[in-house]
Amino acid sequence: MAVEVVKSELVQPSEPTPRGALWLSNLDLAARNGYSPTVYFFRRPDDDVDGQPPAGFFSADAMRAALADALVLFYPFAGRLGVGRDDGRTQIDCSGEGALFVVARSAAALDDLFEGFAPSKAMRDVFVPAYESAGPGAPLLLLQVTFFRCGGVALGTAMHHFVIDGRSAFNFIRTWAAIARGDPAAAAVTPSLDRTPLRARPVPTVLFDHTHEYGGGDGRRRTTTTTTGHITNKASSEYASAILHVTSSQVSALRARAGGAVSTFRAVAAHVWRCACAARALAPDAESRLYTMVDMRGRLSPPLPDAFFGNAVARTSASARVGDLLSNTLGLAARRLRGATGHGDEYARSLVDYLEVMADDMVPRGGLPGTDLRVISWLGMPSYDADFGWGEPALLAPALMYYTGFVYLMNRQGKEGGVAVAVALEPECMERFKELFFEELATLV
């Protein structure tokens, strides 16, 4: 499916904004040095006239004006990456140069995409502005509004990961949308831009082992053989992807099977972990590791504000023998995840100090061994608070999966409590994974 670009421009803040360097924390610089592409789909309102959407529906001019206003609050997004003169450290130069805003149109119908939509490079290339580089001189925020012939709209976003984590990204979209729909109260939440609470301590003190998640140590990457003899030590850029849905009743049943007082994230992630190990036909004595991110805003002492704009997430992981995962109940995997995700201030401070003394080029940003998963949770985030005046999105999803073993857990549309699971696996494993995923769910309710 092709789109035609109608207009591409840089949108600057509508008012003067502070100039100068914005310091980036070690957690910022440990993030992926690139963009995070996401796509939102909006249906045409039901109260259309003569088959046409109401006047002003996703007006490009209104979206552009609201973006300019939002960039006054979120002015780092209008800057560019730079390098400190004294220390050579990457920083944001708050220059006010602007964010990229693209208007496009497509001859396709929105419903053509809904059936079996899956993140892919093709989806990213169609709905997210093209970018050659994420380095100095490149915009830190890229946006594309695509109008379908049916009247529906897609909003594609690409935000540089040095600038934001998931919660920061959704807070920005929520503010932009509130400005666009004329809701000043919802748009009044000022982001907290000060990253200095995440500075390393004068004498770095590392109390935890961070080598699995951030490299260092012996830098090992395991080589594992499946029962079919397939070597899985290297991550593959070739993947199959899918978005699978878990109903609210199935989520409740998974939590009960995992031990009752288990979070939705731990229950669903444990289910995905076990199904992936089985679908990959991993040897029982192989070690599998599940990596994830923990939002540290409320766990630091003192806590960061919810509106903190930056990276406040820490990588962590849990591991288990494949045979143990598959021969035990869901509770074993959930308990391993609880141990990995229950960290607080001491863990975060230890990690910041670890990154302070570690060479930047040692931080792993690539793929995973074929035994492992990386599960990113958007659960509980304001992901569907993207109401630009015409209701919440009909679908929100990552536009791209990076490599095999990458998984997103997301809220489903509405408030019913269901979960959407976006997963990328080896193409030869995907169909078996889906069979196992739904067979297990069918036994719950």
CATH of the domain at 165: 3.30.559.10
Residues 145 and 273 placed together within one structural domain of the fold: no
Percent of the chain with pLDDT over 90: 77
Cα dihedral 245, 330, 381, 21 in deg (nearest 10): -120
Residue 271 region by backbone torsions, left for phi larger than 0, else alpha for psi between -120 and 50, else beta: alpha
* Residue 217 is assigned to a structural domain of this protein: no
Stretch (H or E) spanning 147: strand 141-148
Specify whether 259 is located in the same domain as 376. Answer: yes
pLDDT tens string 98-135:
999 999 999 988 888 877 789 999 999 999 998 877 88
Closest to 37 (Cα-Cα) out of 100, 110, 112? 100
Domain-located, residue 203: no
Q: What is the pLDDT of residue 417?
A: 80
Task: Kindly tell me if the per-residue pLDDT of 223 is higher than 50.
Answer: no
Q: What are the strands, taking DSSP E only, across 197-339?
A: 240-246, 287-295, 313-321
pLDDT of residue 227: 35
Do 165 and 302 fall within a single domain? no
Please count the residues of the chain.
445
Indicate if 159 and 232 belong to the same structural domain: no
Say yes or no: 233 and 181 in one domain.
no
Q: What's residue 53's pLDDT?
A: 56
- Those residues whose C-beta lies under 8 Å from the C-beta of residue 45, and which sit 6 or more positions away, are 53, 54, 57, 390, 391
Contacts of 136 (CB under 8 A, 6+ apart): 80, 81, 82, 83
Assign residue 414 a region: left if phi > 0, alpha if psi is -120 to 50, beta otherwise?
left
pLDDT, mean of residues 412-436: 92
Of the listed ranges 209-223, 328-342, 422-436, the least confidently predicted one is 209-223
Domain count, the chain: 2
Instruction: Describe the chain by its helix, strand, coil percentages, rounded to 5.
Output: 30, 25, 45
Q: Show the domain range for 34.
A: 4-195
Residue 80: strand pairing partners: 93
pLDDT at 24 over 70: yes
Domain co-membership, 287 together with 391: yes
In this model, does residue 54 exceed pLDDT 70? no
The yes-or-no verdict on residue 224 having pLDDT over 80 is: no
Q: Is residue 335 part of a domain?
A: yes
Residue at 204 is within a domain: no
Residue 383 exposure: Cα atoms within 13 Å on the Cβ side: 26
Task: Give yes or no: residues 254 and 178 share one domain.
Answer: no
Q: Mean pLDDT in the chain?
A: 90
- Residue 269 and residue 393 in one domain: yes
Is 358 part of any domain?
yes
How far is the CA of 225 from the CAs of 102, 171, 325, 431, in angstroms? 46, 43, 17, 20
Which of 195, 213, 243 finishes a domain? 195
Label residues 206-244 b or e (16+ Cβ within 10 Å = b): bebebebbbbbeeeeeeebebeeeeebeebbeebbbbbb
Most confident of 143-152, 305-314, 359-368: 305-314
Choosing from 173, 195, 217, the residue where a domain stops is: 195
Distance CA 409, CA 252 (A): 15
Please indicate, yes or no, whether residues 326 and 240 belong to a single structural domain of this protein. yes
- By annotation, the residues acting in catalysis are 161, 387
Residue 140 in domain = yes
User: Which of 137, 170, 195 is the endpoint of a domain?
Assistant: 195
Specify the pLDDT at position 49.
53
Identify whether residues 187 and 235 lie together within a single domain: no
In the Cβ-directed half-sphere of 229, how many Cα atoms lie within 13 Å? Answer: 0
Residue 354 exposed, middle or buried by CB count within 10 Å (0-12, 13-18, 19+):
buried
Specify the pLDDT at position 256: 94
Average pLDDT over residues 38-42: 96
| Residue 245 near residue 424, CB atoms below 8 Å | no
One domain, residues 285 and 421:
yes
CB 259 within 8 A of CB 338: no
Mean pLDDT of 404-433: 93
Q: Is residue 81 part of a domain?
A: yes
Residues 149 and 285 in one domain: no
| Token pair of 2 as six digits | 């092709």
Q: What is the pLDDT of residues 266-322, one digit of tens each?
A: 999 999 999 999 999 999 999 999 999 999 999 999 999 999 999 999 999 999 999
Q: What is the pLDDT of residue 216?
A: 78
Tokens in use for 72? 């006054």
Contact 333/274 with Cβ under 8 angstroms? yes
Is 438 part of any domain?
yes
